[in-house]
Structure 1
Amino acid sequence: MQKLTPFLISCLLVFGAAACENPSKTSESAPNNSNQAAQTPDTKATEAAQQDAQSEVRRRQLNEDIRAREQRNNTTGGDTDRAKGDLASEVRSKLEANIPNGQLTVDAQKDGTVTVGGTVTNQQQLAKIETLSKEIKGVKNVVVKATVAQPANKTKP
Protein backbone atom coordinates (compact mmCIF):
# COMPACT_ATOMS: atom_id res chain seq x y z
CA MET A 1 0.00 0.00 0.00
CA GLN A 2 2.90 2.36 0.75
CA LYS A 3 4.27 1.90 -2.79
CA LEU A 4 0.86 2.22 -4.40
CA THR A 5 -0.03 5.62 -2.94
CA PRO A 6 2.88 7.58 -4.51
CA PHE A 7 2.23 5.83 -7.82
CA LEU A 8 -1.45 6.86 -7.81
CA ILE A 9 -0.62 10.44 -6.85
CA SER A 10 1.97 10.74 -9.63
CA CYS A 11 -0.50 9.30 -12.15
CA LEU A 12 -3.08 11.91 -11.14
CA LEU A 13 -0.52 14.72 -11.47
CA VAL A 14 0.55 13.58 -14.94
CA PHE A 15 -3.07 13.26 -16.07
CA GLY A 16 -3.93 16.68 -14.62
CA ALA A 17 -0.98 18.35 -16.34
CA ALA A 18 -1.93 16.79 -19.68
CA ALA A 19 -5.56 17.85 -19.30
CA CYS A 20 -4.58 21.49 -18.66
CA GLU A 21 -2.81 21.80 -22.01
CA ASN A 22 -6.03 21.93 -24.08
CA PRO A 23 -6.67 25.52 -25.28
CA SER A 24 -10.19 26.87 -25.76
CA LYS A 25 -11.21 26.38 -29.39
CA THR A 26 -14.41 26.68 -31.38
CA SER A 27 -13.52 23.66 -33.54
CA GLU A 28 -11.00 20.81 -33.70
CA SER A 29 -9.25 22.37 -36.69
CA ALA A 30 -8.81 25.77 -35.01
CA PRO A 31 -5.20 26.69 -34.24
CA ASN A 32 -3.75 25.76 -30.85
CA ASN A 33 -3.09 29.37 -29.86
CA SER A 34 -4.49 32.75 -30.77
CA ASN A 35 -1.29 33.91 -32.51
CA GLN A 36 -1.33 31.05 -35.02
CA ALA A 37 -3.39 31.20 -38.22
CA ALA A 38 -5.73 28.30 -38.85
CA GLN A 39 -5.62 26.30 -42.04
CA THR A 40 -8.44 27.03 -44.42
CA PRO A 41 -11.37 24.68 -43.72
CA ASP A 42 -12.70 22.43 -46.47
CA THR A 43 -16.20 23.04 -47.86
CA LYS A 44 -17.81 19.89 -46.46
CA ALA A 45 -16.56 20.54 -42.93
CA THR A 46 -17.73 24.14 -43.12
CA GLU A 47 -21.21 23.18 -44.32
CA ALA A 48 -21.62 20.50 -41.64
CA ALA A 49 -20.48 22.85 -38.88
CA GLN A 50 -22.71 25.60 -40.17
CA GLN A 51 -25.81 23.39 -40.25
CA ASP A 52 -25.18 22.18 -36.70
CA ALA A 53 -24.19 25.47 -35.16
CA GLN A 54 -26.78 27.59 -36.94
CA SER A 55 -29.63 25.46 -35.81
CA GLU A 56 -31.94 27.43 -33.56
CA VAL A 57 -31.81 24.70 -30.91
CA ARG A 58 -28.00 24.85 -30.71
CA ARG A 59 -27.97 28.66 -30.54
CA ARG A 60 -30.58 28.66 -27.75
CA GLN A 61 -28.62 26.03 -25.80
CA LEU A 62 -25.42 28.03 -25.96
CA ASN A 63 -27.11 31.29 -24.99
CA GLU A 64 -28.89 29.58 -22.06
CA ASP A 65 -25.56 28.14 -20.92
CA ILE A 66 -24.05 31.61 -20.98
CA ARG A 67 -26.98 33.06 -19.00
CA ALA A 68 -26.72 30.28 -16.41
CA ARG A 69 -23.00 30.92 -16.00
CA GLU A 70 -23.63 34.64 -15.58
CA GLN A 71 -26.26 33.99 -12.90
CA ARG A 72 -23.96 31.57 -11.11
CA ASN A 73 -21.12 34.10 -11.34
CA ASN A 74 -23.32 36.86 -9.87
CA THR A 75 -24.27 34.58 -6.99
CA THR A 76 -20.70 33.59 -6.19
CA GLY A 77 -19.06 37.02 -6.12
CA GLY A 78 -19.26 38.69 -9.50
CA ASP A 79 -16.50 39.54 -11.94
CA THR A 80 -13.71 39.95 -9.42
CA ASP A 81 -13.33 36.25 -8.67
CA ARG A 82 -13.94 34.94 -12.17
CA ALA A 83 -11.37 32.49 -13.49
CA LYS A 84 -9.86 33.37 -16.86
CA GLY A 85 -10.79 29.89 -18.13
CA ASP A 86 -14.45 30.64 -17.42
CA LEU A 87 -14.23 33.90 -19.32
CA ALA A 88 -12.58 32.23 -22.32
CA SER A 89 -15.17 29.45 -22.28
CA GLU A 90 -18.10 31.86 -22.25
CA VAL A 91 -16.66 33.96 -25.07
CA ARG A 92 -15.91 30.82 -27.10
CA SER A 93 -19.51 29.63 -26.63
CA LYS A 94 -20.89 33.01 -27.68
CA LEU A 95 -18.73 33.06 -30.80
CA GLU A 96 -19.53 29.45 -31.62
CA ALA A 97 -23.27 30.17 -31.47
CA ASN A 98 -23.10 33.27 -33.63
CA ILE A 99 -20.16 32.57 -35.95
CA PRO A 100 -20.75 28.88 -36.61
CA ASN A 101 -18.27 28.17 -39.39
CA GLY A 102 -15.43 30.14 -37.84
CA GLN A 103 -12.32 28.40 -36.61
CA LEU A 104 -11.45 30.55 -33.64
CA THR A 105 -9.33 30.33 -30.53
CA VAL A 106 -9.98 32.35 -27.40
CA ASP A 107 -7.44 33.35 -24.78
CA ALA A 108 -8.46 35.36 -21.71
CA GLN A 109 -6.34 37.26 -19.20
CA LYS A 110 -7.16 38.11 -15.59
CA ASP A 111 -7.56 41.81 -16.45
CA GLY A 112 -10.55 41.02 -18.72
CA THR A 113 -8.63 41.18 -21.99
CA VAL A 114 -9.70 38.51 -24.48
CA THR A 115 -7.64 37.62 -27.57
CA VAL A 116 -9.45 35.92 -30.44
CA GLY A 117 -7.44 34.34 -33.25
CA GLY A 118 -8.10 31.98 -36.16
CA THR A 119 -10.25 32.39 -39.25
CA VAL A 120 -13.79 33.30 -40.29
CA THR A 121 -15.31 33.10 -43.75
CA ASN A 122 -16.32 36.72 -44.35
CA GLN A 123 -15.79 40.31 -43.24
CA GLN A 124 -19.19 40.52 -41.48
CA GLN A 125 -18.25 37.65 -39.17
CA LEU A 126 -14.90 39.28 -38.45
CA ALA A 127 -16.66 42.52 -37.52
CA LYS A 128 -19.01 40.67 -35.09
CA ILE A 129 -16.20 39.14 -32.99
CA GLU A 130 -15.53 42.19 -30.80
CA THR A 131 -19.21 43.04 -30.27
CA LEU A 132 -20.18 39.47 -29.36
CA SER A 133 -17.19 39.08 -27.04
CA LYS A 134 -18.00 42.27 -25.14
CA GLU A 135 -21.52 40.98 -24.46
CA ILE A 136 -19.95 38.60 -21.92
CA LYS A 137 -19.76 40.08 -18.45
CA GLY A 138 -16.14 40.58 -17.40
CA VAL A 139 -14.73 41.23 -20.88
CA LYS A 140 -13.13 44.65 -20.82
CA ASN A 141 -10.97 44.59 -23.94
CA VAL A 142 -10.97 42.42 -27.09
CA VAL A 143 -7.92 41.89 -29.31
CA VAL A 144 -8.98 40.42 -32.65
CA LYS A 145 -6.19 38.56 -34.44
CA ALA A 146 -8.58 36.54 -36.62
CA THR A 147 -8.49 36.77 -40.40
CA VAL A 148 -10.92 36.13 -43.26
CA ALA A 149 -10.28 32.90 -45.19
CA GLN A 150 -12.67 31.23 -47.62
CA PRO A 151 -13.19 27.46 -47.28
CA ALA A 152 -10.91 25.49 -49.58
CA ASN A 153 -12.44 22.96 -51.94
CA LYS A 154 -10.62 19.74 -51.16
CA THR A 155 -11.29 17.09 -53.75
CA LYS A 156 -9.86 13.60 -53.78
CA PRO A 157 -7.89 12.65 -56.92
Structure 2
Amino acid sequence: MNKLTPILLSGILLFGAAACSEGAKTSPDAPNSTTENTTSPPSAETVQKTQSDATSDIRKNQANSDIRAREQRNNVTGGDAIRADGDLQSEVRSKLEVNITKGALTVEAKDGIVTVGGTVPNQTDLAKIEPLAKEIKGVKEVNVTAVVAPAASASPSSNQ
Protein backbone atom coordinates (compact mmCIF):
# COMPACT_ATOMS: atom_id res chain seq x y z
CA MET A 1 0.00 0.00 0.00
CA ASN A 2 2.86 2.40 0.82
CA LYS A 3 4.34 1.87 -2.64
CA LEU A 4 0.99 2.28 -4.38
CA THR A 5 0.16 5.71 -2.90
CA PRO A 6 2.98 7.67 -4.61
CA ILE A 7 2.14 6.02 -7.93
CA LEU A 8 -1.54 6.96 -7.63
CA LEU A 9 -0.73 10.53 -6.62
CA SER A 10 1.74 10.90 -9.49
CA GLY A 11 -0.86 9.63 -11.94
CA ILE A 12 -3.46 12.09 -10.67
CA LEU A 13 -1.03 15.01 -10.89
CA LEU A 14 0.05 14.02 -14.38
CA PHE A 15 -3.56 13.76 -15.53
CA GLY A 16 -4.38 17.14 -13.99
CA ALA A 17 -1.42 18.82 -15.66
CA ALA A 18 -2.37 17.40 -19.05
CA ALA A 19 -6.00 18.47 -18.63
CA CYS A 20 -5.00 22.04 -17.78
CA SER A 21 -2.70 22.54 -20.75
CA GLU A 22 -5.36 23.99 -23.07
CA GLY A 23 -6.07 27.73 -23.29
CA ALA A 24 -9.11 29.17 -21.59
CA LYS A 25 -11.87 30.07 -24.04
CA THR A 26 -14.70 32.59 -23.66
CA SER A 27 -16.99 30.62 -25.97
CA PRO A 28 -17.07 27.18 -27.59
CA ASP A 29 -16.38 28.67 -31.02
CA ALA A 30 -13.30 30.58 -29.88
CA PRO A 31 -10.05 29.49 -31.53
CA ASN A 32 -8.05 26.72 -29.89
CA SER A 33 -4.93 28.85 -29.44
CA THR A 34 -3.91 32.49 -29.46
CA THR A 35 -1.68 31.92 -32.47
CA GLU A 36 -4.43 30.44 -34.62
CA ASN A 37 -5.49 32.75 -37.46
CA THR A 38 -9.17 33.53 -37.02
CA THR A 39 -10.47 35.50 -39.94
CA SER A 40 -13.86 33.84 -40.06
CA PRO A 41 -16.32 35.46 -37.68
CA PRO A 42 -18.73 33.38 -35.61
CA SER A 43 -22.28 32.99 -36.89
CA ALA A 44 -24.99 35.35 -35.64
CA GLU A 45 -26.76 32.42 -33.96
CA THR A 46 -23.62 31.42 -32.04
CA VAL A 47 -23.02 35.01 -30.97
CA GLN A 48 -26.62 35.28 -29.74
CA LYS A 49 -26.32 32.05 -27.70
CA THR A 50 -23.01 33.09 -26.18
CA GLN A 51 -24.25 36.60 -25.44
CA SER A 52 -27.46 35.42 -23.77
CA ASP A 53 -25.42 33.07 -21.56
CA ALA A 54 -22.81 35.69 -20.71
CA THR A 55 -25.35 38.43 -20.04
CA SER A 56 -27.65 36.33 -17.88
CA ASP A 57 -27.80 37.63 -14.33
CA ILE A 58 -26.86 34.24 -12.91
CA ARG A 59 -23.73 33.98 -15.10
CA LYS A 60 -22.66 37.57 -14.38
CA ASN A 61 -23.12 37.09 -10.63
CA GLN A 62 -21.23 33.79 -10.76
CA ALA A 63 -18.30 35.28 -12.71
CA ASN A 64 -18.11 38.42 -10.57
CA SER A 65 -18.26 36.35 -7.39
CA ASP A 66 -15.47 34.12 -8.71
CA ILE A 67 -13.31 37.12 -9.56
CA ARG A 68 -13.91 38.71 -6.13
CA ALA A 69 -13.10 35.45 -4.32
CA ARG A 70 -9.82 35.07 -6.22
CA GLU A 71 -8.84 38.66 -5.52
CA GLN A 72 -9.61 38.17 -1.81
CA ARG A 73 -7.39 35.07 -1.75
CA ASN A 74 -4.65 37.06 -3.46
CA ASN A 75 -4.98 39.89 -0.95
CA VAL A 76 -4.58 37.42 1.92
CA THR A 77 -1.24 36.35 0.48
CA GLY A 78 -0.22 39.98 0.09
CA GLY A 79 -1.31 40.18 -3.54
CA ASP A 80 2.29 40.02 -4.73
CA ALA A 81 2.56 36.25 -4.69
CA ILE A 82 3.55 34.55 -7.92
CA ARG A 83 0.36 33.43 -9.59
CA ALA A 84 -0.10 30.11 -11.32
CA ASP A 85 -0.49 30.39 -15.09
CA GLY A 86 -3.79 28.50 -15.03
CA ASP A 87 -5.19 30.81 -12.36
CA LEU A 88 -4.27 33.93 -14.34
CA GLN A 89 -5.62 32.39 -17.52
CA SER A 90 -8.94 31.49 -15.92
CA GLU A 91 -9.37 34.80 -14.13
CA VAL A 92 -8.62 36.89 -17.22
CA ARG A 93 -11.00 34.72 -19.26
CA SER A 94 -13.76 35.28 -16.69
CA LYS A 95 -13.15 39.03 -16.70
CA LEU A 96 -13.28 39.21 -20.49
CA GLU A 97 -16.29 36.91 -20.75
CA VAL A 98 -18.38 39.17 -18.53
CA ASN A 99 -17.24 42.45 -20.09
CA ILE A 100 -16.96 41.51 -23.78
CA THR A 101 -20.05 39.39 -24.30
CA LYS A 102 -19.96 39.11 -28.10
CA GLY A 103 -16.31 38.06 -28.36
CA ALA A 104 -14.91 34.63 -29.11
CA LEU A 105 -11.62 34.85 -27.24
CA THR A 106 -8.88 32.47 -26.15
CA VAL A 107 -6.59 33.30 -23.23
CA GLU A 108 -3.17 31.84 -22.52
CA ALA A 109 -0.82 32.83 -19.67
CA LYS A 110 2.85 32.13 -19.08
CA ASP A 111 4.90 33.70 -16.27
CA GLY A 112 2.53 36.66 -15.90
CA ILE A 113 2.38 37.38 -19.62
CA VAL A 114 -1.15 36.97 -20.93
CA THR A 115 -1.95 36.49 -24.63
CA VAL A 116 -5.51 37.01 -25.85
CA GLY A 117 -6.53 35.85 -29.32
CA GLY A 118 -9.75 35.34 -31.22
CA THR A 119 -12.37 37.76 -32.49
CA VAL A 120 -14.40 40.68 -31.16
CA PRO A 121 -17.24 42.45 -32.97
CA ASN A 122 -15.80 45.99 -32.92
CA GLN A 123 -12.78 48.17 -32.21
CA THR A 124 -14.23 49.33 -28.86
CA ASP A 125 -14.24 45.77 -27.51
CA LEU A 126 -10.73 45.19 -28.89
CA ALA A 127 -9.50 48.24 -26.98
CA LYS A 128 -11.08 46.92 -23.73
CA ILE A 129 -9.06 43.69 -23.68
CA GLU A 130 -5.71 44.98 -22.41
CA PRO A 131 -7.04 47.25 -19.61
CA LEU A 132 -9.43 44.54 -18.37
CA ALA A 133 -6.68 41.90 -18.33
CA LYS A 134 -4.31 44.23 -16.47
CA GLU A 135 -6.89 44.63 -13.68
CA ILE A 136 -6.05 41.09 -12.62
CA LYS A 137 -3.25 40.93 -10.06
CA GLY A 138 -0.24 39.05 -11.34
CA VAL A 139 -0.67 40.10 -14.98
CA LYS A 140 2.61 41.73 -15.99
CA GLU A 141 2.05 42.12 -19.72
CA VAL A 142 -0.82 41.63 -22.17
CA ASN A 143 -0.36 40.65 -25.81
CA VAL A 144 -3.52 41.05 -27.86
CA THR A 145 -3.63 39.02 -31.06
CA ALA A 146 -7.43 39.21 -31.32
CA VAL A 147 -8.96 40.82 -34.39
CA VAL A 148 -12.18 42.65 -35.18
CA ALA A 149 -14.61 40.41 -37.07
CA PRO A 150 -18.31 41.27 -36.84
CA ALA A 151 -20.65 38.31 -36.50
CA ALA A 152 -21.72 36.76 -39.77
CA SER A 153 -25.38 37.37 -40.46
CA ALA A 154 -27.67 34.39 -40.46
CA SER A 155 -27.89 32.91 -43.91
CA PRO A 156 -31.39 32.98 -45.38
CA SER A 157 -32.85 29.52 -45.79
CA SER A 158 -33.87 28.65 -49.29
CA ASN A 159 -37.30 27.16 -49.79
CA GLN A 160 -37.67 24.67 -52.61
TM-score, shorter chain, exceeding 0.5: yes
Alignment of 1:6-155 (within 5 A): 15-16=15-16, 18-38=18-38, 39-76=40-77, 78-110=79-111, 112-155=112-155
Q: TM-score, normalization: structure 1?
A: 0.83
My pick for the range that moved more, 71-80 or 19-28, is 71-80
Preserved contact between residue 74 and residue 81 of structure 2 (Cα < 8 Å): no
Q: TM-score, normalization: structure 2?
A: 0.81
1:75/1:8 CA distance change after superposition, 3 Å: closer
1:45/1:9 CA distance change after superposition, 3 Å: same
1:127/1:77 CA distance change after superposition, 3 Å: same
Q: Secondary structure at the match of 1:152?
A: coil
Paired amino acid for 1:134: K
Paired amino acid for 2:108: D
For 1:88 and 1:11, locate their aligned partners in 2 and report how far apart those are by CA, in whole Å.
Answer: 24
Shift of 1:147: 0.2
Q: Secondary structure at the match of 1:34?
A: coil
Shift of 1:75: 2.2
List alignment gaps of at least 5 residues for structure 2: none
Shift of 1:77: 5.3
Preserved contact between residue 59 and residue 98 of structure 1 (Cα < 8 Å): no
Q: Secondary structure at the match of 1:105?
A: strand
Q: How big is the alpha-carbon RMSD for the aligned residues of Structure 1 and Structure 2?
A: 2.6
| Deviation readout 1:54-81 (Å, 9 max, x if unpaired) | 2344223212210101111222453323
Preserved contact between residue 23 and residue 89 of structure 2 (Cα < 8 Å): no
Shift of 1:116: 0.5
Paired amino acid for 2:146: A
